[in-house]
């Protein structure tokens, strides 16, 4: 049975992992006959958002690993424990946590960087040509992990795509139900909630992403 490492960035679309995307990813992996383990960096969140009103919760701090544990019923490991030899592929879930905690994309725009732990993990899979899936805003990480010209999508947001393309991504516009496949690098991307208006719409592209990632790992 193929085993997939799923990378989370907290819990909640505005300051962590997009919960629908995370659950849909885990469900798709299991339904397609594979297994998964979840990982998150043991670091402080950039900030905490009140998801009821969208405001920053002042004087409150949370830990990315602790928050991510909410999604998988407590079964999440510290990202520094991830070893690429134990897995067939890696998938990065979206949500603003990918742009605030896993990287500084939401904060630094064209001068953004990727968290060192995240970069080490992602590059470890890339170095041995193991497949990877990135959804929603997570493809912003790609040009800092793979060689210049790696193909990917964040959907159809031209301004956001331009910032990532400036780092070296070859951006390809993509509908919510589709994926962009970079066969040379074994990378699969889908817009998910960059475009989705419902959980069922997000599910179509995420299911395809998992399907292609698993096919690359054969």
- State whether residue 107 is helix, strand or coil: helix
Query: Which tokens is 129 given?
Result: 């040509």
Sheet with 187-190: list strands edge to edge: 76-78, 35-40, 3-7, 89-92, 132-135, 187-190, 180-182
First to last CA, the chain: 11
With the CA atoms of 65, 114, 98 and 28 taken in that order, what torsion angle do they form, in degrees rounded to the nearest 10?
A: -80
**Residues forming the active site:** 136
């Amino acid at each position: 049975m193929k085993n997939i490492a799923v990378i989370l960035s907290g819990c909640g679309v505005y300051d962590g992992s997009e919960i629908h995307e995370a659950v849909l990813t885990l469900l798709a992996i299991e339904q397609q006959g594979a297994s998964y383990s979840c990982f998150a960096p043991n670091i402080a969140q950039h900030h905490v958002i009140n998801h009821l009103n969208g405001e920053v919760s002042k004087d409150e701090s949370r830990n990315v690993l602790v928050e991510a544990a909410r999604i998988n019923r407590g079964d999440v490991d510290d990202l520094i424990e991830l070893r690429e030899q134990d897995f067939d592929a890696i998938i990065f879930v979206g949500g603003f946590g990918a742009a605030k905690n896993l990287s500084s994309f939401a904060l630094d725009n064209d001068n953004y960087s990727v968290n060192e732990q995240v970069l080490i993990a992602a590059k470890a899979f890339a170095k041995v040509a193991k497949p990877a899936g990135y959804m929603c805003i997570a493809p912003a990480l790609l040009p800092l992990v793979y060689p210049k010209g790696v193909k990917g999508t964040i959907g159809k947001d031209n301004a956001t795509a331009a910032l990532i393309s400036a780092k070296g991504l070859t951006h390809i516009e993509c509908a919510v139900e589709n994926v962009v496949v970079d066969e040379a690098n074994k990378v699969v991307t889908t817009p998910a909630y960059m475009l989705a208006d419902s959980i069922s719409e997000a599910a179509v592209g995420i299911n395809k992403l998992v399907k292609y990632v698993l096919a690359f790992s054969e």
